[in-house]
Structure 1
Amino acid sequence: MSLPDPSSPPSRPDPMLVACLALSMLLSSLGTSIANVGLPAMALAFDAAFPSVQWVVLAYLLAVTTAVASAGRLADLIGRRRLMLAGLAWFTAASALCGAAPGLWSLVAARAAQGVGAAVLMTLAMALAGEAAPKGRAGSAMGLLGTMSAVGTALGPTLGGALIAGPGWRAIFLVNLPLGLLAFWLAWRHLPQDQPRATQAPVRFDRLGSALLTVSLAAYALSMTLGKGAFGPLNAALLAAAAAAACLFWRVESRSAHPLLRPAMFSDAGRSAGLAASALVATVMMATLVVGPFYLAGALGLDAARVGLAMSCGPLVAAVAGVPAGRCVDRFGARPMTLAALGAMAGASAALPFASDAFGVAGYVIALVVITAGYALFQAANNTAVMAGAGGERGAVSGLLNLSRNLGLITGASAMGALFALGAGTADLAGAPPQALAAGLRAVFLAAAALCVLAGAAVAAAGVTRPRAVQP
């Protein structure tokens, strides 16, 4: 079988290559969402307290967050095909270890390993999709990956619940084995061969920079997630450690002959604005997940089933809107669509609490649908703009995009949850009266609208549609 030559743009994408990348993105997002529903069963199986069993989810998120940037740079050095195959094999093997774990902490360790594999999958799926897309079709490729990510997020709770009710909680990890093997086979057959580097000069992987970045990101993520929303001395110490490691990382990178992330990568205003906007918008999207269940149940009186149905509207809309959003980007351009998406998200965020007051569940869901559709368009447009012109650093730039999104999600879970409690005037959200929950909702979504406006201002000020190409 002849493999496509990546040096010349294809006239149309190989459908099997597209399927491979879509399945890889599905696996990584499914790994995030499917485990949450199994926590009660795991707590019972291991006779563990809930704070301990939460590390099954936290370990995966921490591993993904700390590994994405290093995975992107490593792919640029050793080859994207080679690392993608290794990542699929690693993720599948780690999933098997999760399903066979004899104890809670061995499961947590296996989940951390699985998260490292997921970081490779999501980073390289984006890098390879942009590279393989025909000229003028990058937006459609990014839209498809956004769809698969949303499908994984929406499918996780439903599939996980069915598997737990049938074979048991171990099946939520073992289900990745046939999917991972299929993705590996597709990658082996259809990923283009890695091309030799243009220069023969030896390039080393920046181990010190990678270690410092990992320490900084892990400390920041822990500072945002420990303490159940209360920011105490431990959180402050972790945040200080994250800042110190980040400063040291930047100093090391500016002096390194082979940096993990070249400081010059951030000199392009368009790319930097896109990365900042990605983090801000991810913070907004996490707000819908953090405050939604409390408001829908406590203020609007929905039972658990109806809360789940209302919350599922978001991922479902994102799944449906991803591909059409990508086509809009290809037709109208990345920057105009980014600004249009942020405008729609800002307006819907500001309107959501008032629509909920006036029209109840219908008002909340309609506003949520607009926010989520706007997010699908933003992802397709912003990812296309940031990845354009990445050249030989496509893996590193893709890693930065995923990193900015994960940092936004982690920050949103902490900051938006704290703002909700502050607006409601109580930390006991489960027992708060409807008026207090409505006040908390207003505080959160007015802040979310402000973040969308800030992201739009950053993109507009950058004033470019496509970042300048950089050479590694």
Structure 2
Amino acid sequence: MKSISIRGALSGLSLSMLLSSLGTSIANVGLPTLAEVFSASFQAVQWVVLAYLLSITALIVSVGRLGDLMGRRRLLLIGIAVFTVASILCALAPDLWSLIAARALQGIGAAIMMALTMALVGGAVPKEKMGSAMGVLGTMSALGTCLGPTLGGVLIAHVGWQGIFLLNVPLGVLAIGLAWRFLPVDRHAMQSTRPDFDVLGTLVLVLTLLAYALAMTLGRGSFGPLNTALLLVAVIGLILFVFVEQTAASPLVKLPMLRSPLLSAGFAMSTLVTTVVMATLVVGPFYLSGALGLSAASVGLVMSAGPLVAALAGVPGGRLVDRLGAQRSSAIGLIAMLTGACILPSVPMSVGVFGYLAPLVVLTAGYALFQAANNTAVMADIAPQQRGVISGLLGLSRNLGLITGASVMGAVFAFGTASNNILHAQPEAVGQGMRVTFAVAAALIVVALLIGTFSQFVSRRPATSC
């Protein structure tokens, strides 16, 4: 009976992770159709995706902390319900800006699901099976990314653009049913004395993260005065947030816990690694089409290989974490990523698609193993009352890596091509841009390895001195 309960709880959490991941990837493929339906520019219709990502990035830490205070199961159920209702509102949107507002609401639900799925694993799965559970969640996240473009294309063709949002409704209802039936009831949710929610800290953090996310995404790769101003606001906001948290009676983030070398290293490595992964998504399409001359359909097929490998490697990677331990598995994953990142720029263009695809498979499989190991290492020994906010910080580190990677690695690629217009660059220039980008990516992975090694050394030092 207990094994059935664990499987049911993991199924509900996995479905929540799938929905939040699918919410990003399935909307991307619908942008051309939405631009045509609403007679909008591409810049305007991009906010359908951007509003969703901004909501997640700005709120993921705050909702994680809110789950710690009011009960994670209860808040997860609310989050899935918000996501499901917002999906209906998206499908019923009469104009583009109503759709964008509904997508922002959908992003709030997704932020809750992303923050609390990993937090709830700790209470639903035995510690010795934590790696396998994290591997399953990683697989579902990658599966959502992988299925989104194909599923979205089929739904738009046969149902219309509303279908990409209505798909979430039955899946959301199923996720609510599984979570309600199998997740353990919040034990502390009904206590009369609870710490207050840090409203001021939450407001400062939300505005800071919004400023940073907009600084990295506005301008489509060009960093102008507005981007600089927003980045300055983000820096000031971060300083103000630290001050607010030091003086708050019940802080949103307890800053002293970030002094833990394993915890802070886990966040830093997650940001660096997802920055590298974003490079494959930014550079890949330009290299495959501009340097190797692939058609749009072939580019899409090759690009789907990365998420597919991550989905297939998630579960076996999680089992390897249970067998070898989180720290060792994390190092193996990073070494695999470094191998792929080093091979990619060294393979001649004459080798063709295989010369790009083979190293990409190695890099992505390494990423899947690293994610399962790092998530396990961060979440394994966290006090139950802190799981929500730590899970939120872990999710934030990934989102910041993706946002930063899209901007910074895109700029590195443009610099490497030495061309004013990448679309018109010669194949040799595109190839050079790819080589420069992945040389930088390899350097970032080396930094992640050094951080991981140093954090283990520091965390062991007190034990050896006693």
TM-score, length of structure 1 as denominator length:
0.95
Q: Partners in 1 of 2:28 and 2:3 — Cα distance? A: 42
Cα 1:377/1:465, change in 2 over 3 Å: farther
Task: Identify the residue that residue 340 of structure 2 maps to in structure 1.
Answer: 348
Deviation at 1:14, TM superposition (A): 1.9
Cα 1:336/1:158, change in 2 over 3 Å: same
Structure 2: gaps of 5 or more residues: 461-466
1:415 aligns with 2:408: yes
1:328 aligns with 2:323: no
Secondary structure at the residue paired with 1:34?
helix
State the superposition RMSD in angstroms: 1.6
Q: Partners in 1 of 2:141 and 2:379 — Cα distance? A: 18
Q: Partners in 2 of 1:143 and 1:427 — Cα distance? A: 42
Cα 1:196/1:371, change in 2 over 3 Å: same
Q: Partners in 2 of 1:290 and 1:351 — Cα distance? A: 18
Deviation at 1:18, TM superposition (A): 1.3
Q: Partners in 2 of 1:94 and 1:12 — Cα distance? A: 31
What is the correspondence of 1:41-120 to structure 2 with a 5 Å cutoff?
41-120=33-112
What is the correspondence of 1:417-436 to structure 2 with a 5 Å cutoff?
417-436=410-429
Deviation at 1:309, TM superposition (A): 0.9
Q: Partners in 2 of 1:151 and 1:289 — Cα distance? A: 16
What is the correspondence of 1:389-468 to structure 2 with a 5 Å cutoff?
389-391=381-383, 392-463=385-456
On the 8 A contact 2:267/2:394 being kept in 1, the answer is: yes
Deviation at 1:427, TM superposition (A): 3.3
Deviation at 1:198, TM superposition (A): 11
Secondary structure at the residue paired with 1:193?
coil
Percent of counterpart pairs with the same letter? 58
What is the correspondence of 1:123-162 to structure 2 with a 5 Å cutoff?
123-162=115-154
Deviations 1:306-329 (A, max 9, x none): 111111110000000000000000
Task: Identify the residue that residue 463 of structure 2 maps to in structure 1.
Answer: none
Deviation at 1:357, TM superposition (A): 2.8
1:374 aligns with 2:344: no
Paired letter, 1:60? Y
Cα 1:19/1:12, change in 2 over 3 Å: closer
Task: Identify the residue that residue 174 of structure 2 maps to in structure 1.
Answer: 182
Task: Identify the residue that residue 22 of structure 1 maps to in structure 2.
Answer: 14
Which structure's residues are more often helix, by fraction?
A: 2
Deviation at 1:251, TM superposition (A): 0.4
Paired letter, 1:364? Y
TM-score, length of structure 2 as denominator length:
0.96
Q: Partners in 2 of 1:138 and 1:270 — Cα distance? A: 17
On the 8 A contact 1:385/1:465 being kept in 2, the answer is: no
Cα 1:209/1:455, change in 2 over 3 Å: same
Moved more, 308-317 or 191-200: 191-200
Cα 1:466/1:201, change in 2 over 3 Å: farther
Paired letter, 2:197? F
Moved more, 352-361 or 186-195: 352-361
Q: Partners in 2 of 1:67 and 1:449 — Cα distance? A: 31
Equivalenced residue count is 459
Secondary structure at the residue paired with 2:128?
coil
Paired letter, 1:344? A
Paired letter, 1:335? Q
Q: Partners in 1 of 2:375 and 2:138 — Cα distance? A: 10
Q: Partners in 1 of 2:286 and 2:23 — Cα distance? A: 25
1:216 aligns with 2:208: yes
On the 8 A contact 2:261/2:458 being kept in 1, the answer is: no
Match of 1:225 among 203, 217, 227: 217
Deviation at 1:199, TM superposition (A): 8.1
Q: Partners in 1 of 2:6 and 2:457 — Cα distance? A: 31
Task: Identify the residue that residue 276 of structure 1 maps to in structure 2.
Answer: 268
Deviations 1:314-361 (A, max 9, x none): 000000000000000000000011111111111210110222535221
Structure 1: gaps of 5 or more residues: 5-9, 468-472
Task: Identify the residue that residue 23 of structure 2 maps to in structure 1.
Answer: 31
Q: Partners in 2 of 1:110 and 1:136 — Cα distance? A: 40
Secondary structure at the residue paired with 1:136?
helix
Paired letter, 2:300? G
Q: Partners in 2 of 1:244 and 1:78 — Cα distance? A: 30
Secondary structure at the residue paired with 1:137?
helix
On the 8 A contact 1:334/1:465 being kept in 2, the answer is: no
Deviation at 1:131, TM superposition (A): 2.5
Paired letter, 1:268? S
